[in-house]
């Protein structure tokens, strides 16, 4: 959200939140086996799921837990406001970076289902192969830096602390006061 807020300010564009949650492997939550997004979209990396033998009931448990967290954040961040209507509009999806891209793919799929006309993904840092793969799924992708070796998103930041719920709410409130209010979402 802090990255998206700065981009929205620079473009003098509206800002909203579009929520996605990584589905971490049981016992190795930092490793994504898939993701869910607002609107009921779930994507799974079936090759990894099968390779590691993750049972269907474990996938469902992880999905349900992340769905509860997604819904909690949706209620908290929206504070009664409706989600933007993206049908027929260009959406710029911004994240602090991409590693595997699974959460971004879930957001892209959900926004396509909602009828977004054009989807642009913009991230400060990502591995080149992830940017190349994402290029096939979106209308445009902007990866500012594609370092080799990549390792992880967080090592390319001086401060990669988790954004609190209160910070997200403050950035959304500040954007509502300072920026135009139309149809844009951030992941």
Q: Is 185 among the domain residues? A: no
CA 104, CA 99: separation in Å to the nearest integer? 10
Cβ count within 10 A of residue 28: 10
pLDDT in tens, 83-132: 889 999 999 999 999 988 989 999 999 999 999 999 999 999 999 999 99
Mean pLDDT of the region 64-91:
93
Cβ count within 10 A of residue 98: 25
DSSP category for residue 123:
E
Q: Is 115 among the domain residues? A: yes
pLDDT number for residue 184:
44
Q: What are the C-alpha distances in Å from 169 to residues 1, 2, 79?
A: 10, 11, 9
pLDDT surpassing 60 at residue 185:
no
pLDDT in tens, 16-50: 999 999 999 998 888 889 999 998 899 999 998 99
Q: Is 55 among the domain residues? A: yes
Which residues does 85 contact at the CB level (< 8 Å), separation at least 6? 183
Q: Is 184 among the domain residues? A: no
Q: Is 183 among the domain residues? A: no
Element spanning 23, H or E: strand 20-25
pLDDT number for residue 33:
93
Residue 162: band (very low, low, confident or very high) from pLDDT cuts 50, 70, 90:
very high
Domain that holds residue 103: 2-178
Q: Are 141 and 135 in contact (CB under 8 A)?
A: yes
Q: Is 186 among the domain residues? A: no
pLDDT surpassing 70 at residue 187:
no
Total structural domains within the chain: 1
- Give the CATH number, domain containing residue 99: 3.40.50.2020
pTM: 0.87
Q: Is 187 among the domain residues? A: no
pLDDT number for residue 29:
85
pLDDT number for residue 182:
60
């Amino acid at each position: 959200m802090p990255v998206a807020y700065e981009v929205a300010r620079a473009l003098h564009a509206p800002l909203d939140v579009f929520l996605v949650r990584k589905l971490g492997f049981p016992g190795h939550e930092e490793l994504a086996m898939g993701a869910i997004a607002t609107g009921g979209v779930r994507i799974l990396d079936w090759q990894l799921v099968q390779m590691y033998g993750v049972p269907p009931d474990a996938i469902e448990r992880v999905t349900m837990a992340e769905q509860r967290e997604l819904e909690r954040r949706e209620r908290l961040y929206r504070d009664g406001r409706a989600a933007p209507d993206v049908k027929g509009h260009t959406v710029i999806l911004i994240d602090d970076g991409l590693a595997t891209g699974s959460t971004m793919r879930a957001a892209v799929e959900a926004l396509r289902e909602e009828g977004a006309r054009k989807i642009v993904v913009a991230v400060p840092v990502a591995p080149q192969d992830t940017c190349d793969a994402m290029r096939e799924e979106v209308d445009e992708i902007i990866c500012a830096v594609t370092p080799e070796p990549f390792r992880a998103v967080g090592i390319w930041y001086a401060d990669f602390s988790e954004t609190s719920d209160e910070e997200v709410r403050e950035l959304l409130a500040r954007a509502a006061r300072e920026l135009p209010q139309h149809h844009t979402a951030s992941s």
